[in-house]
Structure 1
Amino acid sequence: MMIPEEDLYAAAPEAAEKFLSALPDQAECVHDFSPDFETRMELLLHRQRRRRPWRALLAAAAVIGALAAGLSVGAGDRTNCQIYWSQTNGELRYVVRLEHVTTQPFQDAQLDYVPEGFTLVRGGTNEIRSERSLIYRKGEEASFTLRQTRGEDLVGSKGTACQGSEVEVNGRPGLLAEETGSTEKDLLWTDGPYIFALYGKGLSAEELLRIAEGVTW
């Protein structure tokens, strides 16, 4: 029995919401292990990377996202990552799925533009986890954090009322989430094999985009 195409499109938003609501929040998926443990587990994680349970779920998300809301980005004609997101009653959920694995060495991101008055308070790279973070602050009133990751799928949500919108970062599609009644904003985009997340407080959307457009690696 063939399902009419219009029925698939009509059911896609509800299916996407059910799938995304079943995923845990990003905060529940993060744990800091000791450096010794991470070193010993790196070889095992590398062998198991393609067999993670998330792969089957994210494959379903790709189909759902293609019918509902989705963005695709990558270098040249080859897509490295895809962003899928859904918003219902002010709650935004997203999935960034890695399409291709790269073997090139991890390259640290740098900022070509930092708003006046902001200073770097903490920064570093975890080569084992292929992750880099830079934290800037301007007194107590404003701050932003840049997070660069590679080789891992990213799942997250905004549990408070917010508005999601599609934006462009250096010609590549991105997702901007602005919290209602707050100065906090999240900007998510990808560049080649990397996933970038910029978390800002006390900054306008225009300032956040300008920072993102100055990220190089």
Structure 2
Amino acid sequence: MSNIAWSEQELANAAKRVAESMLTSFPSPSECEHVFSDDFEHSMEILRKKSKRRVVAHKIWQRAAVILIVTILSVSTWLTVDIQARERAFQWIKEIYESITIYLFNSEDNEIDHICYEPSWIPDGFSLVDNYQDSDYCLRVYANDTGEKMFSVEYTLMQHTSMSTTAQEYSEVVKVDINGIPADLYIGNETSPEKALIWVDEANQVVFNIQGNISNEDIVHIAQSLILSIPTK
């Protein structure tokens, strides 16, 4: 080990020279220009919409927190023993705001970890173009060969989470059945052709959300084909 004692100023000067050397090795901004593919831009747009919905829902829940806490405390025992009552309570929460439908969950006894679902059927010509997952959340994005048609499969554990849809984005809500579980299919309007299918698997404590600009039949078929798979590391 060297016995040379370096002063703080000498160390600062050395660090500055190293930083300057690293900066000069980087390419100029003009050399870094890149045109992203339509598939990538569409995937980012899906993520931006999801992020925006979460921010709006978070603000609303901040304003409604006191009302919700009082309500949950007053009916907590009732909800733990009556599944139909739980469904009615969710409907009551969904009816609080006309512009936004919110699914709120708070299940502290969820012991499921590293969930991983994937569709066993997707429309012809589609393939996986983006994928993100962790121990309790997953987002898969699929697109066709041209990138004009896309859909995403999103799911998360019912543990301290929420999922929302903005009513203005949809013109109609249709009740459908996903392997015996009731689901809401939100159909797009003139300004937004996307559709969203949301359902809650209470037995496995998982919330699903499929969105895309594909047909109603295909979205339902994809949902019905979801199966558990081995999670990727």
State the TM-score bracket (shorter-chain normalisation): 0.5 to 0.7
Aligned-residue sequence identity (percent) comes to 18
RMSD: 3.5
Q: Contact between 2:115 and 2:137, CA under 8 Å: does it hold in 1?
A: no
* Higher relative contact order (CA closer than 8 Å, sequence separation 6+): 1
- Cα pair distance change 1:103/1:57, threshold 3 Å: same
Task: Kindly state the Cα deviation for residue 124 of structure 1 after the two structures are TM-superposed.
Answer: 2.6
- Cα pair distance change 1:176/1:62, threshold 3 Å: farther
User: Which of 93, 115, 129 is the equivalent residue of 1:107?
Assistant: 115
- Cα pair distance change 1:87/1:114, threshold 3 Å: farther
Match of 2:151 in 1: 144
Q: Which structure has greater helix proportion? A: 2
Please say if 1:189 is aligned against 2:204.
Answer: no
**C-alpha separation in 2, matches of 1:156 and 1:145:** 15
- Cα pair distance change 1:94/1:29, threshold 3 Å: closer
Q: Which structure's CA Rg is the greater one?
A: 2
**C-alpha separation in 1, matches of 2:222 and 2:176:** 14
- Cα pair distance change 1:155/1:62, threshold 3 Å: farther
User: Which of 117, 126, 130 is the equivalent residue of 2:125?
Assistant: 117
SS in 2 for 1:57: helix
Q: Contact between 1:168 and 1:174, CA under 8 Å: does it hold in 2?
A: yes
Unaligned runs of 5+ in 1: 1-23, 31-52, 65-71
Task: Kindly state the Cα deviation for residue 213 of structure 1 after the two structures are TM-superposed.
Answer: 0.3
Match of 2:54 in 1: 26
**C-alpha separation in 1, matches of 2:186 and 2:153:** 15
Which residue type is aligned with residue 120 of structure 1?
A: L
**C-alpha separation in 1, matches of 2:65 and 2:114:** 23
Task: Kindly state the Cα deviation for residue 131 of structure 1 after the two structures are TM-superposed.
Answer: 0.6
Task: Kindly state the Cα deviation for residue 154 of structure 1 after the two structures are TM-superposed.
Answer: 1.1
Which residue type is aligned with residue 219 of structure 2?
A: L
- Cα pair distance change 1:149/1:175, threshold 3 Å: same
**C-alpha separation in 1, matches of 2:156 and 2:189:** 27
Unaligned runs of 5+ in 2: 1-51, 59-63, 229-233
Number of paired residues? Answer: 156
Which residue type is aligned with residue 169 of structure 1?
A: I
User: Which of 177, 195, 208 is the equivalent residue of 2:186?
Assistant: 177
TM-score (norm 1): 0.59
Q: Which structure has greater strand proportion? A: 1
- Cα pair distance change 1:208/1:29, threshold 3 Å: same
CA distances 1:47-83 after superposition (whole Å, capped 9, x unpaired): xxxxxx959626738999xxxxxxx9xxxx978x855
Q: In the TM superposition, what are the counterparts of 1:63-102 in structure 2 within 5 Å?
A: 82=87, 83-84=90-91, 85-86=94-95, 91-99=99-107, 101-102=109-110
Q: Contact between 1:126 and 1:132, CA under 8 Å: does it hold in 2?
A: yes
- Cα pair distance change 1:174/1:98, threshold 3 Å: farther
- Cα pair distance change 1:177/1:92, threshold 3 Å: farther
